[in-house]
Amino acid sequence: MVRSTPGTMKGMYVDFQLVLLRRMADHNPDLVEDARRRLGASLADMREANKRWQAMVRSPRSRSAAARYRSVLGEPESVLPRRLGDVDCEARRWALPLWPDLRFEALVGPDGAVWNEWLVRAPGAPAPKLETLDDLAPWSCTVDEAARAFAPARPLEGTAPTRWGLAFTAPDREGVRHDVVAEFTWGLLQRTAITGRWLSRRSPSPGSASPRP
C-alpha cells in the first residue's frame, strides 16, 4: 500500500490515523506497528504526521478543534443530536479504515467547542462480549462499553491528554472478583491492572476493535 502525499485529503486522513496510533504506541507498540504497516507508513511517517498535527494544534492562527477535524477528515459520516443536561450538542462521527467497527466521534457544543473526542462503536457493529478479565484485551473495547459491562465503573483522571481511566470490579475465569483499573487512549482500551499490577498484553479476540487485514 502506497501512502498518500501529505497535504492531500487522503494523505491528511492517513496522517490523522497515525496521530491516533502515536498516542497508543507507549502501551502496545506491536499492535501499533501492525496497524502502521497496514497504512503503508514508516516510523518516520508517523513522527512527521504527529509533528504536523501538533504544529496545527499549537499554531496562533489555529482553527477550532471542530473546524480542524472537518478540514482533516472531511464532512462527518453522521451528525447526531445529543442533550447533556439542559444543553444541546452534536456528536459528529467519521469512519476510519483501521477500525471499521469503530467511528471517531467529536462531541461539539453549541458554541463550536469540542467537549470530547474519542473512538466509539459504529452503529450496527457487533459489540464485544465483556464478562471476565480475559475479555479485556488491548483494543478490544471502548470506554463506554467497559463502563456498561462492569457497572458501576468510576471514571479516573487520565495520565496524559486523550487518555481516560476506569476503576471497576471484574471476575477472572474462575469467577473470583478483582479490583481493576483500565486505561484508554482516544477511547480505546490499552491496558488493565489488578492490585497495582499491569496485566500482560493479549491479542484481541475475533470481532474486537483491532484493525483487520
- Give the tens place of pLDDT for each residue, 100-142: 999 999 999 888 888 889 999 999 999 999 999 999 999 999 9
The strand ranges marked E within 38-187 are 78-84, 87-95, 102-108, 114-121, 154-156, 163-171, 177-185
Comparing CA positions, the residue from 198, 184, 94 lying closest to residue 144 is 184
Q: Is the pLDDT of residue 62 over 80?
A: no
pLDDT at 2 over 90: no
**Which residue, 165, 156, 67, is CA-closest to 108?**
67
Res 71: pLDDT: 85
Percent of the chain clearing pLDDT 90 (strictly above):
62
Per-residue confidence band for 10, with pLDDT thresholds at 50, 70 and 90: low
**What pLDDT is attached to residue 7?**
46
- Highest average pLDDT, of 2-6, 165-169, 191-195, comes from 165-169
What pLDDT, on a 0 to 100 scale, did the predictor assign at position 212? 36
Residue 63 banded pLDDT, cuts 50, 70, 90:
low
The arithmetic mean of pLDDT across residues 82-111, rounded, is: 91
Q: Is the per-residue pLDDT at 76 higher than 50?
A: yes
> What pLDDT digit, counting tens, does each position of 178-213 carry?
999 999 999 999 999 987 666 654 444 333 454 433
Mean pLDDT of the chain: 85
Q: Residue 87: how many CB atoms within 10 A of its CB?
A: 11
Specify whether the CB–CB gap between 154 and 170 falls below 8 A: no
Nearest to 3, CA basis, from 97, 112, 121: 97
Determine if the pTM surpasses 0.95.
Answer: no
pLDDT higher than 90, residue 44: yes
pLDDT at 198: 61
Q: Helix (H, G, I), strand (E, B), or coil: what is residue 194? A: strand
